[in-house]
Structure 1
Amino acid sequence: MATDPTKKPADGAGARAAATPDAGHLVQFDQVVKQYGDHVVLDHLDFTVQRGQHVTLIGPSGSGKTTILRLLMTLEHISDGHIWVGGEPLSHMRASDGSLKRANEKHQRQVRKKIGMVFQQFNLFPNMNVLQNITEAPVNVLGVPRAQAEERARELLDLVGLKEKVTAHPTQLSGGQQQRVAIARALAMQPEILLLDEVTSALDPELVAGVLDVLRDIAHTTDITMICVTHEMSFARDISDQILMFDSGRVIESGAPDKIFGDPDHERTREFLSAIL
């Protein structure tokens, strides 16, 4: 659940709190700041995600939602605070004396194995067919035997409704089909956490429903933890256990979908939803 995003600890309090992360949370942001020069994107952000939970981040463009996903994938680095994944520090690592220091790439890469991400753009390898796109990372990053990786890839292609496209290349697929391959590719890495960043924003409108249906099936039939950024509010209502409303780098309201969409407390939430629903 989200905690008070306006809370700021006394000097050193954030480091002491982060040294003992809550074991009940799979993802924990502790007083996380992200800024570029004087521009603050995330402002002492606290929020947590429990194992198996589906959390959707909503709010206006520029409110910091995608930055959260990019920090979890270590595509960006925090300016202050701590991030924990599965009880392990992601942004930091333990020094020999038990204190926390900034994580190196090796440490981040190890913790990041728990996380998979589906991006707005499909980012498939154009020179590889569908099967190769899905098996490349499990074989070369996780060390999965190729036969085992291919068997799992075929299962995932069946899951996303593309079992007949094994030998097709990305240029032979529609945008919706490419995004479904990207979803299968992310799942092939056996992540505990699946990050979804506006996964239908690059699709033609008639292709959106098919991709969202695949994600609904995954949400309802697996125990994977999901953190989703989307402007598809009906999808957010369907799959989410919790909705977090962001504005100016902070969580201003959080709750169950029925509460957020039916009776939000914050005027900014009401304004945002009235503009997009």
Structure 2
Amino acid sequence: MPQSEPTTGVQSAEAAPAGPIIRFDKVVKRYGDNVVLRELDFTVDPGERVTLIGPSGSGKTTILRLLMTLETVDGGVIWVDGDPLSHMERNGKLVKANEAHLRRVRSRIGMVFQQFNLFPNMNVRRNITEGPVHSLGVSKDEANQRAEELLELVGLSDKIDAHPTQLSGGQQQRVAIARALAMRPQILLLDEVTSALDPELVAGVLDVLRDIAQSTDITMLCVTHEMSFARDVSHRVMMFDHGQIAEEGTPEKIFGDPQQERTRTFLKAVLEHG
């Protein structure tokens, strides 16, 4: 079914924010009669690390998919670094974005998915260098050097010529993280990146992400059920319920002194099964 034209109260690109790197302005997303996001407003500042928590179906992953333009908004506007992602300016008005505009703004964003999505016919080196060479116009030498640096960062320097089938799930996910970073995004989206891993492999991937969080100024927007990870890396935690932010605050506040009963109930259930 074709998407209806998104509606927005924002009429001019001059309204673009100067500060936040991500801004959701009354964003609506629905699937049929199911409204997943309900006029959602929130911002993320450059370099901020924000974790989204909440029950399945509360809209967390939908937010990441909208930012990656894997889904389209049904209302409102998403801004990325001051530019509208879901819309573009034409004759002083905001209209639905075309593919060229989407690609330009989306190039500032990298995403690591639950499934690793590596190309099975390419070795690790090519998985990491293919995007920078063909999408960014980086030379092969520069892309190779960057791949080597990133593999050292994720602890897989010795696997540069291996194929994905020769790697464990945890190793594949670390390669996927390196591949996302190779595109030099301003924003890194992480969607339950440990959910497909055996429990003994989770810690290694989370350690890599902790290192990245502590050693770079990249903006991170993370969906996870790993509460200890959220506590360690986040500047801010947002609790979602039915497409809205039920509560938000520092990790110390959300995990140590949640104000909303819905947050307390969710955290109790997650921690009991963790």
TM-score (norm 2): 0.95
Q: Is the 8 A contact 1:32 1:79 kept in 2?
A: yes
The answer to whether the aligner puts 1:154 opposite 2:148 as a matched pair is yes
Counterparts of 1:215 and 1:37 in 2: how far apart (Å)? 36
Measured after TM superposition, the shift of residue 20 of structure 1 is: 0.8
Deviations 1:139-158 (A, max 9, x none): 00001001100000000000
- The match for 2:115 among 109, 121, 124 is 121
Counterparts of 1:200 and 1:174 in 2: how far apart (Å)? 13
Q: Is the 8 A contact 1:119 1:196 kept in 2?
A: yes
Match of 2:69 in 1: 74
**Number of residues paired by the alignment?**
265
Counterparts of 1:13 and 1:43 in 2: how far apart (Å)? 13
Match of 2:199 in 1: 205
Match of 1:264 in 2: 258
Measured after TM superposition, the shift of residue 14 of structure 1 is: 2.6
Give me the identity figure in percent: 70
The answer to whether the aligner puts 1:38 opposite 2:33 as a matched pair is yes
Structure 2: runs of 5 or more not aligned: 1-6
Q: Is the 8 A contact 1:18 1:82 kept in 2?
A: no
Deviations 1:31-65 (A, max 9, x none): 00000111100000000000000000000000000
- The match for 1:180 among 162, 174, 184 is 174
Match of 1:52 in 2: 47
Aligned CA RMSD, in angstroms, stands at 1.1
Match of 1:5 in 2: none
The answer to whether the aligner puts 1:63 opposite 2:52 as a matched pair is no
Match of 2:125 in 1: 131
Which 4+ residue blocks in structure 1 deviate beyond 4 angstroms?
Answer: 16-19
Match of 1:110 in 2: 104
The answer to whether the aligner puts 1:143 opposite 2:137 as a matched pair is yes
- Aligned letter for 1:71? L
Measured after TM superposition, the shift of residue 21 of structure 1 is: 2.5
Measured after TM superposition, the shift of residue 161 of structure 1 is: 0.1
Match of 1:25 in 2: 20
Counterparts of 2:245 and 2:207 in 1: how far apart (Å)? 28
Q: Is the 8 A contact 2:148 2:160 kept in 1?
A: yes
Counterparts of 2:222 and 2:213 in 1: how far apart (Å)? 11
Counterparts of 2:150 and 2:107 in 1: how far apart (Å)? 19
Q: Is the 8 A contact 1:21 1:28 kept in 2?
A: no
Q: Is the 8 A contact 1:160 1:214 kept in 2?
A: yes
Q: Is the 8 A contact 1:31 1:82 kept in 2?
A: yes
Task: Quickly say closer, same or farther: Cα 1:78–1:205, change in 2 above 3 A.
Answer: same
- Aligned letter for 2:200? E
Counterparts of 1:149 and 1:164 in 2: how far apart (Å)? 17
Task: Quickly say closer, same or farther: Cα 1:13–1:189, change in 2 above 3 A.
Answer: closer
Measured after TM superposition, the shift of residue 197 of structure 1 is: 0.1
Measured after TM superposition, the shift of residue 15 of structure 1 is: 1.5
Counterparts of 1:158 and 1:220 in 2: how far apart (Å)? 16
SS in 2 for 1:156: helix
The answer to whether the aligner puts 1:14 opposite 2:15 as a matched pair is no
- Aligned letter for 2:19? G
